[in-house]
Amino acid sequence: MRLLEGVASVADVGEFVATVSDVAEETETTVQAFDARYVVSELHLRRAVELADRAFERGENVARDRAVEILLYAAGRRQIDDALAMGVSPGETPVVVLADGESEDAAVERLRERLDFEPEETLGDYDESLVREFFDVSDAELATVDGDAESLVCERVALLNVEK
Domain 2-163, CATH among 3.40.30.10, 3.30.2380.10, 3.40.50.2020, 3.40.50.2000: 3.30.2380.10
Backbone angles phi, psi at 135, to 5 degrees: -95, 5
Rounded to whole angstroms, the Cα distance separating 37 from 76 reads 15
Averaged pLDDT score across all residues of the chain: 92
User: What average pLDDT does the segment 62-66 reach?
Assistant: 95
pLDDT over 60 at 163, yes or no: no
User: What average pLDDT does the segment 67-79 reach?
Assistant: 95
pLDDT over 80 at 45, yes or no: yes
User: What average pLDDT does the segment 131-144 reach?
Assistant: 86
Tell me the CB-side half-sphere exposure of residue 110, using CA atoms within 13 A. 19
pLDDT band at 141 (very low <50, low <70, confident <90, very high): confident
pLDDT at residue number 123: 92
Q: H or E element: which one contains 65?
A: none
3-state secondary structure 113-133: HHCCEEECCCCCCCCHHHHHH
Q: Is the pTM of this model over 0.75?
A: yes
pLDDT at residue number 146: 64
* Residue among 24, 15, 17, 8 at smallest CA distance from 108: 24
User: What average pLDDT does the segment 114-132 reach?
Assistant: 92
Residue 33: helix, strand or coil by DSSP?
strand
pLDDT over 70 at 125, yes or no: yes
Rounded to whole angstroms, the Cα distance separating 152 from 137 reads 7
pLDDT band at 138 (very low <50, low <70, confident <90, very high): confident
* Domain residue ranges of the chain, discontinuous segments joined by +: 2-163
pLDDT over 60 at 91, yes or no: yes
pLDDT at residue number 95: 97
- The maximal CA–CA distance of the chain, rounded, in angstroms, is 46
pLDDT over 70 at 92, yes or no: yes
User: What average pLDDT does the segment 43-48 reach?
Assistant: 96
